[in-house]
Amino acid sequence: MNAEVAAATAPEKKEFWRWQENTWFDESKNWKDAKIITCGIDVGSVSSQAVIVCDGELYGYNSMRTGNNSPDSAKNALAGIMDKIGMKLEDINYVVGTGYGRVNVPFAHKAITEIACHARGANYMGGSKVRTILDMGGQDCKAIHCDEKGKVTNFLMNDKCAAGTGRGMEVISDLMQIPIAELGPRSFEVDEEPEAVSSICVVFAKSEALALLKAGYTKNKVIAAYCQAMAERVVSLLERIGVEEGFFITGGIAKNPGVVKRIEKLLGIKAVDTKIDSQIAGALGAALFGYTLMQKQGAKAA
């Protein structure tokens, strides 16, 4: 057995899939100056985010791994940012829950699907030119079309299997024993681009990856084949709804250049750049929905 095969089949000691959890807030502003504070909480199957929006502008967020249950994940995600900025739940005017655990966000005033929230978040992050959105989530993948205001006009979700999702990438990360953040860059360190792995199921893909290692592929080449397979898979999803310019990728996999660059190559379109963490798009969209709802309520009361 060669060293690479031995490494890939050895008992897993380290959690290579662990991605960085992070908290951020805009230090140039003070939330106490805001008239309306809204919050979006996205409880996804793999990660959870809480976003604070002050008067319709992104103020801060916290992103972490989803825990054993949705209510606790929502509470912990929100506590992570509130503690950092000295905010209390009663300071927040409106909370919107989204994501797969959206109906289990205990303090949410409303639940909105992640499809609408990702479109709204992408519209904020990428501007009104965004028309096609690919959300590569933890356990599903969505292709969304929206108008210039971020309202969904067409969508398609694939949640039947985990291939082409963040969870699929985590499996490969652990299998290869390479930290998840390194997979993308390493997928380009190959002499020539390999064929995509043929399996579309994570379970079979795992055995296919091992077979490739045994056949003499380097780890980098297996990762490249994987990234290509994921790209081909999501592109076929996107093609069903039609891809327009103003293409934006949300979700954790947007941070993996190995997949993103291959998607761009297959589509012949470059994704819109953003400085905001792609993983918060859903929670950001939820908080922005909350802001609009508060404004509507204010207008009614006036």
Partner 1 sequence: MIANYGYKDGSGEYYISIDTDKCIDCAAERACLTACPKNMFEIITDDYDDEVAWVKKECTRALAYDCAGCKPAAGYTSLPCASACTPGAIKHSW
Residue with Cβ nearer partner 1 (224 or 235):
235
Q: Min. distance of Cβ 243 from partner 1 in angstroms? A: 15
Residue with Cβ nearer partner 1 (5 or 111):
111
Query: 201 and 161 in contact (C-beta within 8 Å)?
Result: yes
Q: Min. distance of Cβ 176 from partner 1 in angstroms? A: 25
Q: Min. distance of Cβ 233 from partner 1 in angstroms? A: 9
Residue with Cβ nearer partner 1 (201 or 276):
201
Residue with Cβ nearer partner 1 (79 or 201):
201
Q: Min. distance of Cβ 252 from partner 1 in angstroms? A: 21
Give the tokens for residue 83.
């503690």
Query: 53 and 284 in contact (C-beta within 8 Å)?
Result: yes
DSSP assigned state of 8: H
Query: Any residues with CB less than 8 A from the CB of 147 and at least 6 apart, and which?
Result: 131, 153
Residue with Cβ nearer partner 1 (161 or 190):
161
Query: Any residues with CB less than 8 A from the CB of 51 and at least 6 apart, and which?
Result: 39, 40, 41, 42, 58, 60, 61, 81, 280, 283, 284, 286, 287
Q: Which of 240, 300, 294, 301 lies closest to 35, judged by CA? A: 294
DSSP 92-106: -SEEEEESTTGGG-T
Query: 75 and 101 in contact (C-beta within 8 Å)?
Result: no
Query: Which residues lie near partner 1 (CB under 8 A)?
Result: 112-113, 115-116, 151-161, 200, 236-237, 240-241, 289
Residue with Cβ nearer partner 1 (117 or 259):
117
Query: What is the H or E stretch that residue 136 is in?
Result: strand 132-136
- State CA 158 to chain mean position distance: 15
Residue with Cβ nearer partner 1 (50 or 234):
234
Q: Min. distance of Cβ 301 from partner 1 in angstroms? A: 18
Q: Min. distance of Cβ 154 from partner 1 in angstroms? A: 4
Query: 64 and 156 in contact (C-beta within 8 Å)?
Result: no
Which three-class secondary structure state does DSSP give residue 216? coil
Q: Min. distance of Cβ 237 from partner 1 in angstroms? A: 7
